[in-house]
Amino acid sequence: MSEHARHRRPVSWRLILSGSWLAIVIICAVFAPYIAPHDPLAQDLLLERLPPFWVSGAEPGYYLGTDGLGRDVLSRIIYGARIALTVAFVAATAACLIGSTMGLVAGYFRGWLDQIVSRIVDIWMSFPPVLFSILLVAVIGTGLHSVIIAITAIDWIRFCRVVRAETLVQTRMDYIDSARAAGFSRLNILVREVFPNALPTIVALLSLEMGIAVIVEAILSFVNLSISTDDPTWGGMIAEGRTIIHFAWWVLVFPLIALFLTVLAFSQFGEGLRDRFDPVLR
C-alpha cells in the first residue's frame, strides 16, 4: 500500500470502539472511589439479592442489584477493574519483556542458545496453561503477587515463540546483509534493525496478552486461588454468581459482560494497532 493510501485510511472502527471501552475501564479503575456509588465491601443482609433497577423489587441507588451478602454489584465491578487492570498491565508487560528478549536472542544468534530456548519452550508447551497457573499459585501461595508471577512465568513463551519466528524471518532478509556489509555490529543490527521490525507484532501480542491475563486472573479467582474472597474481583463475583444463578442471575451476568467486553477490547485493540503500524502493510 502506498503512502497515499495510508493517509486516506481513517482510524478503524475497531480501534475506536475497543479503545473507548478500555478507556472507560481504566477510568473506572483509577477513580473507583469517586465513581462507585457504594462501598464494595459493605454488606447489608436486609438488601441481599436485590435485582437491577428495571426489575420490580429493585431498591433505588443499587443500579445493577446486590449479591448474596447485600453488596452493590456495580460498585464491585468498578473496583474489580482495579485488580483486573493491575494484573493485565504488570503481568503482560513482564511476560513481554522476558519473552521478547529470549525470542530475539534465540532467533538472532541461533546455535546452542536457540536450542536451549526452544527446548524450554517445548517443555512449557507440554503443560495445560490453566492447570500450570493454578498449580503455581497453589505452590507459591495466593495473593496478587503470586497471580502476577504465575501469569508471567507461563505466558512469556507466547512472546518468545512469536518473536523468535519473526526474528528468524527478519534476519534472512536482504537489509540485514546490507547492514552487516556496512559494518554494523551484531548487537547494533539486533537493536536497530530487527527489533523495530518485530515491534508491531510484539505490540499486538502485548495487548492480546493483557486480555489473557485478565481471564487467567478471573479463572484463578473463580477457583478461589487469587486474592482474598472479600476483595472485589470479576472472577470472584462470577464464582459467587454461578452458585446462586437460579435466584440472582445479575450477580453473574454483569461481571461477565465486563470481562467479555474487556477481553474482546484488548484483543481487537491489539489487532487494530498491528494493522495500522505494520511496516509491510504500510
Partner 1 sequence: MTALRAILTRALMTAITLFGVAVIVFVVIRVAPGDPIAMMLPPGASDDDIAHLRALYGLDKSIVQQFFIWLGNVLQGDFGTSISIRQPVSRIVLNRLPATLELSLLAMTIAVLFGGALAFFATRFRETPAETGVDIINGIALSVPDFLWGLALILLLGVAWPVFEISGRISPSLDPQFSTQFYLLESILRLRLDVTLDLLDHMLMPALALALPLAAVIAQLLKVSLKETMNQDYVMLARTKGFSESHVISHDAFRNALLPTLTLTGIQLTFLIGGTVIIERLFSYEGLGNLAIDAVINRDLPLIQGIVLLFAILFVGINLAVDLLYTVLNPRLRHG
Residue placing its CB nearer to partner 1 in the complex, 184 or 249: 249
Tell me, residue by residue from 202 to 221, as one string, x for binding to partner 1 by CB under 8 A and - for no binding. ---------xx--x--xx--
Q: Which of 10, 57, 111, 128 binds partner 1 (CB under 8 A)?
A: 128
Residue placing its CB nearer to partner 1 in the complex, 52 or 211: 211
Do residues 22 and 259 touch, judged by C-beta distance below 8 A? Answer: no
| CA dist., res. 104 & res. 162, Å (int) | 10
Specify which residues 72 forms β-bridges with. Answer: 66
Does residue number 127 form part of the binding site for partner 1 (CB under 8 A)? yes
DSSP string, 93-158: HHHHHHHHHHHHHHHHH-HHHHHHHHHHHHHHHTS-HHHHHHHHHHHH-SSHHHHHHHHHHHHHHH
| CA dist., res. 277 & res. 186, Å (int) | 25
| CA dist., res. 27 & res. 32, Å (int) | 8
Does residue number 263 form part of the binding site for partner 1 (CB under 8 A)? yes
Q: Which stretch binds partner 1 (CB under 8 A): 1-9, 116-124, 171-179, 185-193?
A: 116-124
Residue placing its CB nearer to partner 1 in the complex, 79 or 250: 250
DSSP 56: T
Tell me, residue by residue from 151 to 190, as one string, x for binding to partner 1 by CB under 8 A and - for no binding. ----------------------------------------
| CA dist., res. 224 & res. 147, Å (int) | 12
Least Cβ distance, residue 202 to partner 1 (angstroms): 18
List residues binding partner 1 (CB under 8 A): 119-120, 122-123, 125-132, 134-136, 138-139, 141, 211-212, 215, 218-219, 222-225, 238, 242, 245-246, 249, 252-253, 256, 259-260, 263-264, 267-268, 271
